[in-house]
Structure 1
Amino acid sequence: MRLSIIIPCYNMELYLKECVDSLLDQQMTETECEIIIVNDESKDATLKIAQDYSNKHSNIHIIDKKNAGVGAARNSGYDLAQGEYIYFLDPDDYVAEGTLPVLLQIANNNNLDILTFKTKSVVEKRYPVSDNLGDTLNTLIIEDGISYLAHRKHQNEIWWYLIKREFIKNTGIRFIEGKWMEDAILTAELFCQAKRMAHTNLDVHRYRILPTSAMRNKSPEHYNKVIYDNANAAHVFDKLIATVPKEHENAHACIKRLKTRQQSFVFFLMVRLMKSDISVSEIPAMLSDFEKIDAYPLKKFLGEDYHGIGYSCLVFVFNRKPLINPFIKMFRSFYSLTQ
């Protein structure tokens, strides 16, 4: 088995068909590629749609489990996977036709632990065809993950790279369960462990922008949980940064980038706090905890990865404790009038 594709699903009846159809349109046999659909106790027709596909295709497997969140769903699929490489794909996304075999050839020929590739954001218009499939692709730069992080801005999400199954198994790294930001944490952890990884400019993945997606859920309970889970991610990154070997030639640049990402969790936590119902009285304790791990003040956030007038203005306010509470209270008053 060359590839295992793991799709965690919760109430995805509107999009699962397009996702699976794109995987069946990859010019791969059923012995080369398996699709593992993890139904996380969906309340709609997601499970039935998955079962219909499974009845027609021997390489489509279903895990039907109690709802425990996307991290647990992905771990369940990973535990069942048999492919040489693993790809975690979201059910509301899809991939361009005929691109996965090319990725596998590149990864296999170069014995890569991780291969990253290009993604395109989409709304309603479909983009089933790759922009550059069949063209001459970039010359691969193969390096370890610490050097990769040092040289490139990376995405938090899990769907823009393939992972060698033997590699991730040997690391013992798994998704955290019960918390958001699970893919941001796993991505950085895996990259720091990789010995051989590269980026290809092949246009592969389609990221569907949905107003109903988990990270855009505006219910107070969910919104507040994302805030606290951002705080957890900042603390996890403190432990991760400590594992980067200081003697590595690219250690300084890698740590700088990881610190930027760590402080981004704090920055976006503060942005979400502005729109939340969490009491401003909780903020001083949060900031005190962030100060202990050098995640606050946000002196390492602005730079080549995050820049612009909007970021700069908010960082100016967030870095001055006396301004934070009145600014958030004023913003909440204005925000409530516009809703």
Structure 2
Amino acid sequence: MKLSIIIPVYNVELYISGCIQSLLNQGLSTSDYEIIVVNDGSKDKSIEIVKQFQLDNNNIFIYNKENGGVGSARNYGLNLAKGNYIYFIDPDDYLANNTLKPILDCAKTNNLQVLTFISKGTTATNLHDSVTDISKAFSITKLSGIDYIGINSYKNEVWWYIIKKDFLEEISLRFIEGRWMEDAVFTANLLLNANNVAHLPIDTHRHVRVAGSAMTSKEPSHYLKVIYDNANAAELFMPLIKSIKKNKDCIERLKTRQQSFVFFLMIRMLKSTIKLKEARKIIERMQAVNAYPLNSFLGNDYNGFTYSLLVKLFNIKNLYYLIFLISNPILKSKK
């Protein structure tokens, strides 16, 4: 089998049909690929909808597990996958028609460990036509993952990548479970270990921006978890950065990515119910891994007046703490 597509599913009854239908419209024979749906404890009608697709498609498989989060569901599916290549897609996203076949063909023909392509963010659920003329031939440039990071503003999210399964097994790479930012740590490790990476400029993936999604939730306990998980991701980037010996561009890109976690957690802390004492501890943790002050954050990836101003303010620690207290003095006092 050529390809395994893994979908972690949890309460996405409004979107799962569009996702799966798009995967069936890729010009691939059903014997060439499997769609692995991992039911991560859904309580809505998501799985009932998938079962309707199973009636006419023998390459769709449902596996049930207790709720453990996206990382856990992806790992579960990966352990069951039979394809030579792996693709992870979120259940509220979808693909443009007939784009996956040329991507898979390119990956196989060039024996690529990782192949990237074009994704668009949208609120629309009907952008089924690719703007790319997929009938024409494309030339690609093979790079090591380290060089790829140095040259490109690579993406954290795993749905930008089609990955050779044997390569994943060779480097024993799996998602961190139970944390946000699991994609960021996974993709950085993925690319740093790869020797054969390329980009195919085909307009393929649609990332649907869903109002009220887990990542945008303002619920206090969730908000705090995202803060701590950003801090954890920044810490996990330290050994990755230290592992690069020669490529300065790659090192700088990883430092920028590491400090982006810190910048955005500092933004979130201003809006959170976290106490000043705990905020100080988090900043100290970030200092310990050279992720604060934010001296590598600004550049090609993050620039402009607002970013520059906030970085100047945030890098004056006592000024940041003052802003922190002013943002909610009652909730955030030491008491």
Task: Classify the TM-score, shorter chain.
Answer: over 0.9
* Partners of 2:254 and 2:22 in 1: CA distance: 34
> Paired residue for 1:241?
241
Matches within 5 A, 1:159-170: 159-170=159-170
Per-residue CA distance 1:100-138 (angstroms, 9 max, x = gap) = 000011111111000000011111362101001335465
> Paired residue for 1:257?
253
- Distance change (3 Å), C-alpha of 1:26 and 1:135: closer
> Paired residue for 1:10?
10
- Matched residue of 2:7: which SS? strand
- The answer as to whether partners of 2:233 and 2:258 remain within 8 angstroms in 1 is yes
Q: 1:285 aligns with which of 281, 284, 295?
A: 281
- The answer as to whether partners of 2:18 and 2:125 remain within 8 angstroms in 1 is no
> Paired residue for 2:292?
296
- Matched residue of 2:118: which SS? strand
- The answer as to whether partners of 1:238 and 1:293 remain within 8 angstroms in 2 is yes
Given the alignment of the two structures, is residue 157 of structure 1 paired with residue 153 of structure 2, yes or no?
A: no
TM-score (norm 1): 0.94
Cα shift at 1:281: 1.9
Cα shift at 1:254: 0.7
* Partners of 1:137 and 1:227 in 2: CA distance: 45
- Distance change (3 Å), C-alpha of 1:151 and 1:137: farther
- Matched residue of 1:127: which SS? coil
Per-residue CA distance 1:49-90 (angstroms, 9 max, x = gap) = 122222332110111110000000000000011111100000
Q: Which amino acid aligns with 1:68?
A: G
* Partners of 1:214 and 1:124 in 2: CA distance: 19
- The answer as to whether partners of 1:137 and 1:201 remain within 8 angstroms in 2 is no
Cα shift at 1:139: 2.7
* Partners of 1:185 and 1:104 in 2: CA distance: 24
Matches within 5 A, 1:86-235: 86-124=86-124, 126-134=126-134, 136=136, 139-235=139-235
* Partners of 1:162 and 1:192 in 2: CA distance: 15
Unaligned runs of 5+ in 1: 334-339
> Paired residue for 2:301?
305
Q: Which amino acid aligns with 1:286?
A: I
Between 1:276-285 and 1:57-66, the stretch displaced more is 276-285
Cα shift at 1:289: 1.5
RMSD of Structure 2 on Structure 1 (CA): 1.2
Among all aligned residue pairs of Structure 1 and Structure 2, give the percentage whose two residues are the same amino acid.
47
Q: 1:328 aligns with which of 304, 324, 328?
A: 324
Between 1:231-240 and 1:52-61, the stretch displaced more is 52-61
Per-residue CA distance 1:22-52 (angstroms, 9 max, x = gap) = 0011111111010000111011001211222
TM-score (norm 2): 0.95
- The answer as to whether partners of 2:107 and 2:114 remain within 8 angstroms in 1 is yes
- The answer as to whether partners of 2:40 and 2:73 remain within 8 angstroms in 1 is yes
- Matched residue of 1:56: which SS? coil
Moved beyond 3 Å, runs of 4+: 135-138
Between 1:48-57 and 1:318-327, the stretch displaced more is 48-57
Unaligned runs of 5+ in 2: 330-335
> Paired residue for 2:332?
none
- The answer as to whether partners of 2:145 and 2:193 remain within 8 angstroms in 1 is yes
Given the alignment of the two structures, is residue 273 of structure 1 paired with residue 269 of structure 2, yes or no?
A: yes
- Matched residue of 1:90: which SS? coil
- The answer as to whether partners of 1:137 and 1:200 remain within 8 angstroms in 2 is no
Cα shift at 1:301: 0.5
- The answer as to whether partners of 2:134 and 2:202 remain within 8 angstroms in 1 is no
